[in-house]
């Protein structure tokens, strides 16, 4: 079993690592989040089989973050907050 938190997964998404084409890390400040600190730090199994993480939306000055699920495995996706030339890939599935 793999336990994680939304805070950890959001930080990974904010780093920009693992994206193709690469995108810069989001170093802007958090403007708002639908989860409080306890919700961001609650551990859950992000592995395959079903969703356990709470629903959320988090806004920074540059991006919007949200939960993603593929075959029951949970992760975090993001999209630019303002119009730009970055195309978003497919989200979720399976």
20 found inside a domain: yes
Domain count, the chain: 1
Confidence of residue 75 (pLDDT cuts 50, 70, 90): very high
87 found inside a domain: no
56 found inside a domain: yes
Distance, CA of 32 to CA of 29 (rounded, Å): 9
1-55 pLDDT per residue, tens: 679 999 999 999 999 887 777 788 999 999 999 999 999 999 999 988 778 999 9
Range of the domain at 60: 3-80
pLDDT of residue 94: 55
46-73 pLDDT per residue, tens: 988 778 999 999 999 999 999 999 888 9
Q: What is the DSSP string of the chain?
A: --EE-HHHHHHHHHHTTT-SS------SPEEEESS-HHHHH--EE-STTS--SPP--EEESSEEEEEEEETTEEEEEEEESS--SPPPPP--B-
């Amino acid at each position: 079993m793999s336990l994680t938190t939304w805070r950890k997964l959001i930080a990974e998404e904010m780093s920009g690592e693992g994206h193709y084409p690469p995108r810069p890390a989001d170093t802007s400040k958090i403007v708002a989040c639908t989860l409080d600190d306890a919700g961001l730090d609650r551990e859950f199994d992000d592995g395959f089989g079903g969703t356990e993480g709470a629903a959320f939306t988090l806004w920074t000055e540059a991006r919007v973050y949200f939960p993603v699920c593929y075959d029951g495995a949970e992760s975090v996706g993001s999209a630019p907050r303002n119009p730009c030339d970055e195309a978003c890939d497919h989200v979720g599935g399976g």
